[in-house]
Structure 1
């Protein structure tokens, strides 16, 4: 019997929410429709689609075009941007490949990546990716603050003390139709280990999310939107208030898929521990304190356990 899929991921428009506000206004803003919808989305899905985010449409369209150009390059050319580390900067399988910018997203790091792929120079690619990386980095900061505010926390204080030192990775993801059959998994089921993921995807589709009830749902591509998801690190840091959902990519069967992922993570030696403001009698502490690099090493290095979607539960309990 064929599996039926639905598309009901929350869509959040942040254009009506004030970009700057004082901590004194937080109690009033808790009832703002944007925060209320964001809170519900993070609790129930751990995913949402972001529209009217402020990043120009022409920049998004140009970024998609230049990234497709990169993915069409010969393998030996793309290998210039590779360190050969399957779990790090670069990975290729017969139907999935990714590129990563250096952990510090800035003009110098983008230029370094550009020069490796295009040593003869490609100003359109370099300038576009520099603008894209910095624009999405600013968006991530705003979204993280919105998430903190939705938890009832002072967004500026907690961002500065807990999230300002996060590292960032930008990846160009390509899913080739050459080696895939319709309905086949192009990227297997997993949760993200990091804090927050901001994904720009083309109109091909194929991204699916598993609900709390265990059903798979399609994420219908919305033009010029971003798909944003909470990772295991935020789930632990929020004391389990927000969800890190299992997701995958399934081949849709009409052309290659392309996406650009922006991933933020705690520093390698950061201790992840829910703040006392998120722990009370109704929400007792759910996770032991753990070092982010130890968590990554245990999960990514565990060849026996393939259930990465439940990896965080190994750290449950106090």
Structure 2
């Protein structure tokens, strides 16, 4: 099946004054947008990508020393504990860098330093975007979202996904799932990849569109927590990755999450007399609930208030 690349994906130039309006529009319509002029140095991006590829090119028995992901570390094929599999291997790391980096190959010290500087740049971008979002929503407290990522207890994670070339695809042209369809449970995700296609997003009209790869830019996903905080005004985007028959794909994703004890509930300033669509829950409760689900499940379903008929 040939996939059509979409030219409809919103592009936000973070250096322009209309960024906040475009961000709000994109979050309402797609739950997804691309950012340019993001301020993360290309050199930091390509150096970290090079080190990650060095790790993934190690023999399997070397990589497995950094696993299994429990929940952090190296994993292959299996995604989560509930039977989801994909044509992918990955590293899942937490924000606080409590890892034995000596398991990550010979250059582990360099990898750790590059990872730290990259994550601080990407976290800053995430906070800038969330502050523009608050301004675009006309919320007085500009840091209402960003303070959750800046909190020292912020439960943010960093994931590096490597999708090796899939030889069978090149032969029979079938689609093979690299990473199955899902929404991200956190507040916001910032993703970049090398110049290999594969990412697709699900539109409100029920169609999947392919996202043209662009290794200089970042793609931003609205997560489930942000959907709840905006009382459904922003929708978390359902997305997936298809494996590629000819080129391997490497993506790096920063998932900005709140502290575990944070109550996830619609912001009063966005309610103005409206009913909440969701029962109140903590990030800890929601995160635990998602661990018990399959990737494609509607994870927020358990937390929706069903209107009395």
CA distance in 1, matches of 2:256, 2:29: 21
- Correspondence 1:144 to 2:130: yes
- Correspondence 1:285 to 2:271: no
| CA displacement at 1:79 relative to structure 2 | 2.5
| CA displacement at 1:314 relative to structure 2 | 2.5
Contact 1:199 1:260 in 2 (8 A): yes
Q: How many residues are matched?
A: 292
CA distance in 1, matches of 2:48, 2:212: 20
Match for 1:44 among 24, 29, 39? Answer: 29
Please list the CA deviations of residues 77-109 of structure 1 after superposition, one character each: whole Å capped at 9, or x if unmatched. 222332542x554431172121122332xxxx2
The TM-score, its normalising length taken from structure 2, stands at: 0.85
Which deviates more from structure 2 when the two are superposed, residues 68-77 or residues 194-203? 68-77
| CA displacement at 1:284 relative to structure 2 | 2.9
The match for 1:66 is 51
Please list the CA deviations of residues 99-120 of structure 1 after superposition, one character each: whole Å capped at 9, or x if unmatched. 122332xxxx28x4532213x5
| CA displacement at 1:180 relative to structure 2 | 5.6
CA distance in 2, matches of 1:127, 1:317: 45
Equivalent residues in 2 for 1:233-312, closer than 5 Å: 233-281=225-273, 283-302=274-293, 307-308=296-297, 310-312=298-300
Change (3 A) 1:233 1:212: same
C-alpha RMSD of the superposition: 2.4
The TM-score, its normalising length taken from structure 1, stands at: 0.83
SS in 1 for 2:185: coil
The match for 1:24 is none
- Correspondence 1:317 to 2:301: no
Which deviates more from structure 2 when the two are superposed, residues 123-132 or residues 225-234? 123-132
| CA displacement at 1:307 relative to structure 2 | 4.0
SS in 2 for 1:95: strand
CA distance in 2, matches of 1:223, 1:295: 32
| CA displacement at 1:296 relative to structure 2 | 2.4
Change (3 A) 1:180 1:103: farther
| CA displacement at 1:68 relative to structure 2 | 1.1
CA distance in 1, matches of 2:228, 2:102: 38
CA distance in 1, matches of 2:5, 2:120: 35
CA distance in 1, matches of 2:65, 2:124: 28
CA distance in 1, matches of 2:129, 2:73: 25
Which deviates more from structure 2 when the two are superposed, residues 155-164 or residues 171-180? 155-164
- Correspondence 1:190 to 2:182: yes
CA distance in 2, matches of 1:127, 1:299: 31
Give ranges in structure 2 of 5+ residues lacking alignment. 78-85
CA distance in 2, matches of 1:211, 1:81: 37
Change (3 A) 1:55 1:299: closer
CA distance in 1, matches of 2:2, 2:124: 42
CA distance in 1, matches of 2:214, 2:25: 20
Change (3 A) 1:202 1:157: closer
The match for 2:82 is none
Contact 2:127 2:146 in 1 (8 A): no
- Correspondence 1:174 to 2:166: no
CA distance in 2, matches of 1:56, 1:2: 34
Change (3 A) 1:307 1:174: closer
| CA displacement at 1:287 relative to structure 2 | 0.8
